[in-house]
Structure 1
Amino acid sequence: MSKQAPAPKSSKLPWILVVVLLVALAGTGIWAWLSRANANPAPEVAADAPVEGASGGKRGPAIYFPLDPAFVVNLADPDSVRYLQADVQLMTRDPATAAAIELHAPAIRNRLLLMFGQHTADQLSQRAAKERLQDSGRDEVRALLKAEGAPAGVEALYFTSFVTQ
């Protein structure tokens, strides 16, 4: 009987080296792609960074202050009962003014309620009249804040809902 030599076991080492080499190549390719993509990133702007204003001065981001709940007033129509319901937000870019708005919100609401109630439904039916009412409201808020010795940097009064009935 002749003894045959055992068959050599196949080594897994070459396969392991091939897999490691492929993983290394793939990693290198991904690294190169990410490096190129991040070489010239877009400039990041912080959310609270001041932005360039139209007049060239630095301006902060808009801060909106909702005057909740919605305003509901009787309008000054002499021959019928008419109502205005409006949601109002004030806009400033000055944090000190935003704090003053919050502090004086009850007085601001009072002034605006009285002002809104002086109009008739016919007066408020046109867009131009609503825009004038916004400007008048903004001016009322500014005047009240100035009278209280507070910063009065209110830039706009916005109607986010406006219903007459």
Structure 2
Amino acid sequence: MASKADAGKGEKKGMPIVLMMVVMLLGIGGGAGAMWFFAKGAHADTGAAAAPAVALAVPPPAHYIAMDPSFVVNLADPDGTRYLQVDVQLMTRDPAAAPVIQGNLPALRNGLLMLFSQKLADELRSRDDKEALQAEALAEVQRILTAETGRPAAEALYFTSFVTQ
């Protein structure tokens, strides 16, 4: 049979483990509460501060200039029976650039007609091919506008219709 002295020793061994668990739970709870408190305060502070920064980051509205009528060209295929029909729109965010682009449409159309007509049908099959042509066409437009006006004026060029036959 165990004596009272032995029973006291067993209780002393169990007490530190329970005490450690209680302290650990209090620490975890306190840390979670502090995290919640500071996160709540951070959201309140950043919400007000972030709103003006986001408002300043919004770009001006885009202006689109359609290059009508559609471009229709013979492709440079050896058999000469392939055609490209494409609709093009230019985009600028500078309202003063739209009239500059409009005033240079004949030169822009000429440059794009020359570019499109030197392509082969096989060079226009995949999406990558079309995106490469789009980049070349934008570079041509910006080259002409820079030569005529001193600035590229157009920020983007979009194909709104693209048909090869």
Distance 1:86 1:114 in 2: 13
Q: What are the ranges of 5 or more consecutive residues in structure 2 without an aligned counterpart?
A: 1-54
Give the TM-score normalised by the residue count of structure 1.
0.64
State the Cα distance separating 1:52 from its structure 2 match.
2.0
Distance 2:81 2:152 in 1: 35
Give the aligned partner of residue 76 of structure 2: 76
State the Cα distance separating 1:100 from its structure 2 match.
1.0
- From 34, 52, 55, the counterpart of 2:57: 52
Matching residue's letter, 2:71? F
Cα distance per residue 1:110-136 (max 9 Å; x no partner): 000000001011110111010011111
Q: Is the 8 A contact 1:86 1:162 kept in 2?
A: yes
Q: Is the 8 A contact 1:70 1:88 kept in 2?
A: yes
**How many correspondences in the alignment?**
111
Q: Is the 8 A contact 2:101 2:153 kept in 1?
A: no
Q: Is the 8 A contact 2:63 2:98 kept in 1?
A: yes
Give the aligned partner of residue 142 of structure 2: 142
Q: Residue 85 of structure 2 aligns to a residue in which SS?
A: strand
- Which structure 1 residue ranges, 4+ long, deviate > 4 Å from structure 2? none
- With over 3 angstroms needed to count, the CA separation of the structure-2 counterparts of 1:80 and 1:144, relative to structure 1, is closer
State the Cα distance separating 1:95 from its structure 2 match.
1.5
Give the aligned partner of residue 162 of structure 1: 162
Q: Is the 8 A contact 1:67 1:87 kept in 2?
A: yes
Q: Which has the larger strand fraction?
A: 1
Give the TM-score normalised by the residue count of structure 2.
0.64
Cα distance per residue 1:79-128 (max 9 Å; x no partner): 24100000100011011221111000011000000000010111101110
Q: Is the 8 A contact 1:97 1:151 kept in 2?
A: no
- With over 3 angstroms needed to count, the CA separation of the structure-2 counterparts of 1:78 and 1:106, relative to structure 1, is same
Distance 2:87 2:139 in 1: 17
Q: What are the ranges of 5 or more consecutive residues in structure 1 without an aligned counterpart?
A: 1-49, 54-58
Give the aligned partner of residue 67 of structure 1: 67
Give the aligned partner of residue 106 of structure 1: 106
Give the aligned partner of residue 127 of structure 2: 127
- With over 3 angstroms needed to count, the CA separation of the structure-2 counterparts of 1:128 and 1:98, relative to structure 1, is same
State the Cα distance separating 1:149 from its structure 2 match.
2.2
Q: Is the 8 A contact 1:96 1:151 kept in 2?
A: no
Give the aligned partner of residue 44 of structure 1: none
Matching residue's letter, 1:112? L
- With over 3 angstroms needed to count, the CA separation of the structure-2 counterparts of 1:51 and 1:117, relative to structure 1, is farther
Distance 1:107 1:80 in 2: 25
